[in-house]
Amino acid sequence: AAEPAPPLLEPDALASLNARMQRCRECPIGANATQAVPGEGPLQPAVMFVGEQPGDQEDLRGRPFVGPAGQLFDRALQRIGVARESVYVSNALRHFKYELRGKRRIHKTPAQEEALACRHWLDEEIAIVRPRALVALGATAARALLGRPVAVLSERGEWRERGDGLRVLVTLHPSALLRMPPEQQPQAFEVFVRDLALAWPARA
């Protein structure tokens, strides 16, 4: 009898996951997107960040958090002295959901069924990447990671534990900060930075 195939090493497992993700049509979103956007970063990082879904830029470039929300996120990491390359960054959903307005593609919030259909990609990714801790950026990520609705404004800055023992720090999504009135943004940014710092106890 043939030997069972040996388990894939993590980089191969991740490449295989990402290739399968490109073909995913388990919900309607993928049909209108340019490509699926996989997570990126080192294996076994101290922290894995999870956002909602790719935005316009991410959809075009195939990389997570490279648009305006990503730039804000990068600035927050810089403030606590954390290199973006040292963390793993991913999303709860892998395709950009949008509505066309003229030529502009406007972000649309994913439906709960779409988030649920997408969740196995995140679960598989976490199992391969094996981060020491997770940070949920916003309600969609928090719900995907904790398996229950999360009121981000009341749970932000707090650690929660998952069934698998991994800890999840909840905070706002950087896009939520960008949607605030300009005069509120500097202070909201400071609170966001403080939240992120909690994921590196030595820096908080």
Applying CB under 6 A, the residues found at the interface with ligand URA are 51-55, 58, 64-65, 67, 69-70, 91, 175
Question: Quick check: helix, strand or coil at residue 65?
Answer: coil
> 116: which residues sit within 8 A by CB, 6+ positions away?
none
Smaller CB separation from ligand URA, 3 or 140: 140
DSSP 138-201: SHHHHHHHHSS---HHHHTTEEEE-TTS-EEEEE--HHHHHTS-GGGHHHHHHHHHHHHHTTSG
Nearest to ligand URA of 58, 195 (CB atom)? 58
Nearest approach in angstroms of CB 108 to ligand URA is 13
Q: How far is the CB of 55 from ligand URA (least distance, A)?
A: 4
Residue pair 158/170 in contact (Cβ under 8 Å)? The answer is yes
Q: Which of 129, 133, 130, 175 lies closest to 152 in space, CA to CA?
A: 175
CB-nearest residue to ligand URA: 51
Residue closer to ligand URA (CB basis): 30 or 67? 67
Smallest separation (angstroms) from ligand URA to the CB of 70: 6
Give the alpha-carbon dihedral of 137, 141, 147, 153, to 10 degrees: 40
Minimal distance, residue 143 CB to ligand URA, in Å? 13
Residue 85 vs 161, nearer CB to ligand URA: 85
CB of 47 to ligand URA, least distance (A): 16
| Helices (H) then strands (E): counts for the chain | 8, 7
Q: How far is the CB of 148 from ligand URA (least distance, A)?
A: 19
Give whichever of 45 and 64 is closer to ligand URA, judged by the CB atom: 64
Q: How many CB atoms lie within 10 A of CB 44?
A: 12
Using an 8 Å Cβ cutoff, are 147 and 112 in contact?
Answer: no
| Closer residue to ligand URA (CB): 122 or 204 | 122
Instruction: Tell me the three state secondary structure of residue 118.
Output: helix
